[in-house]
Amino acid sequence: MQTRKLRNLEVSSIGMGCMGFSHGYGQIPTEAESIRLMQKAYNEYGCTLFDTAEVYAAFENEILVGKAIKPFRDKIILSTKYMPKALPGQDIPEGKLSRKGLRMAVEGSLKRLQTDYIDLYYEHRVPIESNVEEMALWMGELIEEGKIRAWGQSEPTLEQARKAHAVTPLSAIQNEYSIMHRTSEKEIFDFCEKNNVGFVAYSPMAGGFLSGKYNKNTEYKGDDVRRVITRFAPENVEKNQPLLDLLNNFASAKNATPAQISLAWMLHKKDFIVPIPGMRKDERMAENFGASNVVLPDDEFNKIEEELAKITIYGDRKDSDIQKLGTIVTVAKS
Ligand SMILES: NC(=O)c1ccc[n+]([C@@H]2O[C@H](COP(=O)([O-])OP(=O)(O)OC[C@H]3O[C@@H](n4cnc5c(N)ncnc54)[C@H](OP(=O)(O)O)[C@@H]3O)[C@@H](O)[C@H]2O)c1
């Protein structure tokens, strides 16, 4: 696979979002199957960016990812995230959003991931009350100590990104981004471009919607966020059909799939964007990683943009909806 830069970190142009191996999309695979898939991502497709977080299934996902990447730890970029809110067993008098809280979190992640450094460490869902300059200073200390190689923010405001970057340069911003959800396009992309900050796109397949393989009758079970996010409400699935029609038209003309067109579109958009789809089946990996070989020339890309401007998107993926499931620890923005 081709590579891209998140500031100084070189990663495959498409990474692997590992959250779904432990939670968020219903029935999880066995541990052995999850490890097989993650190892296949590296061994067969050359995927070198693996993303997890301490909050995913309350530490379980980090443990799983640590086991999977062990044979090739030093060949990949491992990203995880500090949750600025106490998780089970993390209650300290200073509160989690403190220097001590951050250091406690990083030590826990290092242990669970069975590594002595984290390549890219994010502040997860930067809350409004976070003193980002202070956080940047503390992250800078961790970089100096070699515990992390670089840091980033997930879902910061532009102001939070600017302030933090001025203290300790950010290597990446990780936000939700897909052909269905483009709120980062203006200000955050400008910021990334001007400051040599990478952009990691989470939920780049809009939870699978962009594959066109789900319909209004698809049933979701357990902790599957698609039970509650409005993008998957039956009426919105129907109303968003024009977007799938657009992807399908380009897909058939290029002998590709809608999932691949949506990823190729993003890769063409900016050279600092790296999507991290969640994939728990062999065929999904073949399809999604295969998108790195689908080239959209400028005229085709522009045509998609032109058509996209005429399409209204219905529904989204909001934490306030996900919280209704009661299965995910999130930090709400006020
Ligand atoms: N920073 C944050 O706050 C934040 C929030 C959410 C996620 N993330 C990170 O971003 C990663 C990706 O997010 P996500 O899991 O929501 O991404 P996503 O790829 O948009 O959605 C994953 C879902 O789409 C399905 N899917 C993916 N490719 C498909 C394909 N080609 N055909 C059919 N279905 C397909 C998957 O199915 P299967 O599971 O059945 O394979 C899974 O159910 C996470 O793993 C996590 O690391 C970060």
pLDDT tens-place values along the chain, 334 residues long: 999 999 999 999 999 999 999 999 989 999 999 999 999 999 999 999 999 999 999 999 999 999 999 999 999 999 999 999 999 999 899 999 999 999 999 999 999 999 999 999 999 999 999 999 999 999 999 999 999 999 999 999 999 999 999 999 999 999 999 999 999 998 999 999 999 999 999 999 999 999 999 988 889 888 889 888 888 889 998 999 999 999 999 999 999 999 999 999 999 999 999 999 999 999 999 999 999 999 999 999 999 999 999 999 988 888 888 888 876 554 433 2
Question: Is 6 a pocket residue for ligand 1 (Cβ < 6 Å)?
Answer: no
Nearest residue to 162 (alpha-carbon basis) of 154, 170, 150: 170
pLDDT at 330: 44
Tell me how far the alpha carbon of residue 227 lies from the centroid of ligand 1, in angstroms.
15
Would you call 142 helix, strand, or coil by DSSP?
helix
Superfamily of domain 3-212+258-295: NADP-dependent oxidoreductase domain (3.20.20.100)
Question: Is 122 a pocket residue for ligand 1 (Cβ < 6 Å)?
Answer: no
Question: Is 174 a pocket residue for ligand 1 (Cβ < 6 Å)?
Answer: yes
Record the tokens describing residue 301, joined without a space.
């890309």
Would you call 93 helix, strand, or coil by DSSP?
coil
Q: Is the pTM of this model over 0.75?
A: yes
Question: Is 147 a pocket residue for ligand 1 (Cβ < 6 Å)?
Answer: no
9-12 vs 3-6, strand pairing mode: antiparallel
Question: Is 61 a pocket residue for ligand 1 (Cβ < 6 Å)?
Answer: no
Provide DSSP, 36-67.
Answer: HHHHHHHHHH---EEE--TTTTTTHHHHHHHH
- Go through 201-225 and write b for each residue having 16 or more CB atoms within 10 A of its CB, e for each that does not: bbbbbbbbbbbbebeeeeebeebbb
Which residue has its alpha carbon closest to ligand 1 atom 10?
202
Which of 18, 247, 284 has most ligand 1 atoms within 8 Å of CB, for mutation?
284
Helix crossing, 258-269 with 298-308: angle to 10°? 100
Atom of ligand 1 nearest to the CA of 257: 31
pLDDT at 328: 54
Task: Supply φ then ψ for residue 152, to 5 degrees.
Answer: -150, 180
Q: Is the dihedral of CA 107, 112, 113, 115 positive or negative?
A: positive
Question: Is 25 a pocket residue for ligand 1 (Cβ < 6 Å)?
Answer: yes
56 is catalytic: yes
Q: H helices then E strands: how many in the chain?
A: 12, 10
Tell me how far the alpha carbon of residue 318 lies from the centroid of ligand 1, in angstroms.
15
Tell me how far the alpha carbon of residue 326 lies from the centroid of ligand 1, in angstroms.
19
Which residue has its alpha carbon closest to ligand 1 atom 37?
279
Residue carrying structure tokens 């939700």: 176
Strand order in 273-275's β-sheet? 16-17, 49-51, 77-82, 118-123, 148-154, 172-176, 198-202, 273-275
> How many other CB atoms are found less than 10 A from the CB of residue 128?
10
116: Cα separation from own chain's centroid: 23
One of 56, 122, 177, 202 is an active-site residue; which one? 56
Question: Is 280 a pocket residue for ligand 1 (Cβ < 6 Å)?
Answer: yes
Question: How long is the chain?
Answer: 334
**Number of C-alpha atoms within 13 angstroms, CB side, residue 181?**
19
Tell me how far the alpha carbon of residue 226 lies from the centroid of ligand 1, in angstroms.
11
Question: Is 56 a pocket residue for ligand 1 (Cβ < 6 Å)?
Answer: no
CA distances in angstroms from 258 to 66, 247, 294, 318, 329, listed in the order given: 32, 5, 11, 24, 32
